[in-house]
Structure 1
Amino acid sequence: MATMAPAAATDRTVFLAGLDGQLHAGSAALALALTDLDDFAAINRARGREAGDAVLTAWDRVLRANIPRGGSVARLGGDEFAVVLPGTSAENAVVLLEELRRHLAGMTVEGVADAVSVSVGIAANPPHGTTAGELYRAAGEALMRAKRHGRDRVAMYVEEKMVLKSNYYSKANLERLAKLSSASDRTEASLLREALDDLLDKHKDAL
């Protein structure tokens, strides 16, 4: 039986612009989940591109068939999917995505002998951010934590107090960071998270 092609990828810039519109300048409650299929590159190498496409299609179907009315799903490229859940708290999003994660783990995907797992990161407005960029970075950080802690799990963003120590950063760099924070109206922690997100994205294939 032929396998349907996986959903086409959505441009990330277009996705974030649409998400910003749904947030209504931070006044609308909304949860964002970022999902990443575990060991997807290994599935493609071991089973072939057709098996990889079957996995993408299976996860896309699970998401679209089970999210509440008003929610939306977008494939952002590769095996990264975003789920937007208007009017949903981070806690309720965790419950929903945990249910879907378990459902995928129990499925049989054509051409793939082993169970397929997915890692998920979740952030919401409130309290994790009021713009699309802030929510995307927070959900991405939660996703990386899910990966680091063993994969096949759902993690919610947790704000961690970032303490800068002079033995980690030079005085000159701390001063430059403070100036950038003042000039951009962003906190130093937010700027450092963005830099870390960019670094992790650059080396995503190694994670």
Structure 2
Amino acid sequence: MAQLFFKYGAMNSGKSIEILKVAHNYEEQGKSVILMTSILDTRSGHGKIVSRMGLNRDAIALKDDSNVFEIVKEKNPNAACVLIDECEFMTKDQVLQATQVVDDLGIPVMTFGLKNDFKNELFEGTKYLLLYADKLEEMKTICWFCTKKATMNMRMANGKPVYDGEQISIGGNEMYYPVCRRHYNHPPMLDEN
């Protein structure tokens, strides 16, 4: 029975490598997958799923007005699975379209992304995936500053934490650290310059 999965974690929790692993496992068995990611993630160009370990794949770049259900119907309505990276950037409509893929086409949809932003607010996609997903799975990583589980994302600028600003600012390790709640609220001094 097809289901909608939401696999979430802080930065550096292995979400992109996991989606690439899942795609490989399906394809190694001769089963087709449809890969999607947000057009907002421009770190490696549009339409790319790239892990920090260097593995990458082309993917359909979702815009705000992209219709997930129509893309799947057009691309391959018999796909074995739909895999969506950076799902926090999905719109409410796209989450509902993903449920249509599951319910009407019988294709499992696995989404991978952040639960919360650097201000500890939910992204739109995250909010609706938490509401509509059949299965939730936390992907774990450790705090940048200690060995506790990281549950938050700290935005950095000039070696200092940033707690205000636009919700979306694309970056990697140079800009975001996975942190535990304690270090989010009481970060160690990083750079005295």
**TM-score strictly above 0.5:** no
> Of the two, which has the highest radius of gyration?
1
Normalising by structure 2, report the TM-score.
Answer: 0.28
- Higher relative contact order structure (alpha carbons within 8 Å, sequence separation ≥ 6): 2
TM-score (norm 1): 0.27
